[in-house]
Amino acid sequence: MEPRTLKGFRDYLPAIEAPRKAMIRAIEATFECHGFVPLQTPALEYLETLAGKYGDEGDKLLYRFADHGARDVALRYDLTVPLARVVAQHRGELQLPLRRYQVAPVWRADKPQRGRFREFVQCDADIAGVDSAIADAEVLCAGLAVLDALHIDGARLHLNHRGVLFGLLRTAGVADLALQLASIRAIDKLDKIPAHAVRAEMVGHGVPDEVAGAVLARFTTERPALEGLDAALSTASDAATFEAVARLRRVVELVTAAGHGDRIVFDPTIARGLDYYTGLIYETRLTDARVAGIGAVMSGGRYDGLIGLFCKDAIPAVGISLGLDRLLAALVELGLAADGDARVPVYVTVFDPSTAQAALGLAGRLRAAGLRAEVDAVGGKLGKQLERASKRGARVAAIVGPEEVAAQTVVLKDLRRGVQERFALETVTQATREWIERPD
């Protein structure tokens, strides 16, 4: 049998899984710092829960099948629709507004390409149960704080609003809702395919060619700035449109007040192709030209109608989602991925079988103090064990021979400096910590 993985799926070996886990820990800590609580949902949902929520293109990417009970089920496509189902199903047990975060894998039968996989981890933070500019700003601040926690400076969060998007489409001559949605799905691809292909897609869905040209002009050569939106939308005399402009400006004010204003920018081309978005929408892109084609690494928006599909109550919600694997792939390309902690800092050698108990006892003592320690499980000459310790990236080797067992001492060897020193057993934990932390 040939060992192989499915296309679009990957194994994460320790060298990459360690920084990946470190990223997850930093993300979860940041979400919790912003008041979000953890929530998990199953990988499998009833097909009817997911189908019809993402638009025609999204539905085609669902991994769907009949299970052993002949039930139509699907692997979750994202974490947002399952959250909507949870809020509707457990409405009586949840205190709204609910601030929830979830870090979990999702699956899409997409075409694998640079930065795009069929199985990947999303890191979501959502506020369900309130429609306010403050809630919008809070999820944006949480997402931007995650970038800070991951030491990512070169990123910009591009903002738009579905109301502004619909208004601009009306000024270009697209009045029919179905054509507006088709146009939005096409515009969402402006950063992925050429403008003429976007225009052709709109025409293919029934938008007249000259109107499709006017739409492209609105979002490219004529694209308005945030300050000029009122003038750009003057022919779309719809109160909801101007409310959307006011909401957008208010969110920008709030996020700026929180200290993140230098990393947000209004971008009328942001469309978000998923059908459930209703208000503020956003995508975060890395600014380094070397990864310009890798796509958005953190996206989201307001989806006030989604939870209502599962219950009688209209429960508004807003969220942000970071694509962990896409971001990590970009950081690896840029050489900015953290080393993580795949290496073990302390390696406890086993002098001979008679000292094995003492070696494990020492490891237990170090671990109880919060130090990561590995006990050599192979044995053999001390030189070989120290060689294995170096390959594991250990900073310190702890040596317990018969003499040390009798004297209740431990020899610590600094594998970088090449020096060693003997310590009493009762002081070895603190000494080990200091040896690990001291600079080269």
Residue-wise pLDDT tens digits, 354-375: 999 999 999 999 999 999 999 9
Here the tokens at position 176 are 């029919």
Pairwise CA distance, residues 414 & 436, whole Å: 9
Q: Any idea which residue has 């979990």 for tokens? A: 104
DSSP 116: B
Contacts of 236 (CB under 8 A, 6+ apart): 167, 168, 170, 171
- Cis ω before 439 (30° cut-off from 0): no
Pairwise CA distance, residues 270 & 285, whole Å: 11
Pairwise CA distance, residues 131 & 318, whole Å: 8
* Region 14-334: CATH code: 3.30.930.10
Fold of 346-437: Rossmann fold (3.40.50)
pLDDT of residue 342: 62
Q: Where in the chain is the domain with CATH 3.30.930.10?
A: 14-334
Here the tokens at position 411 are 């020899």
93-114 as b/e: b if 16+ CB within 10 A = ebeebbbbbbbbebbbeeeeee
Q: Where are the alpha helices (DSSP H) in 13-114?
A: 14-33, 47-50, 55-60, 80-89
Residue type, 371: L
If we measure between CA atoms, which residue out of 318, 232, 334 comes closest to residue 281? 318
Contact 282, 302 (CB under 8 A): no
Pairwise CA distance, residues 218 & 201, whole Å: 16
Q: Is the dihedral of CA 426, 430, 433, 438 positive or negative?
A: negative
Residue type, 56: D
Here the tokens at position 86 are 């949870």
pLDDT of residue 230: 86
* Parts of the chain with a pLDDT under 50: none
Contacts of 353 (CB under 8 A, 6+ apart): 379
In what side-by-side order are the strands of the sheet with 373-375? 373-375, 346-348, 396-399, 409-414, 419-424
Pairwise CA distance, residues 81 & 87, whole Å: 10
DSSP 327-339: HHHHHHHHT----
DSSP 272: -
Please compute, for residue 199, the number of CA atoms within 13 A of its CA located in the half-sphere on the CB side: 16
Q: Where are the alpha helices (DSSP H) in 34-107?
A: 47-50, 55-60, 80-89
Contact 151, 330 (CB under 8 A): no
Here the tokens at position 121 are 């981890």
Here the tokens at position 75 are 């692997």
Q: Where in the chain is the domain with CATH 3.40.50.800?
A: 346-437
Judged by phi (left if over 0) then psi (alpha if -120 to 50, else beta), residue 418 lies in: left
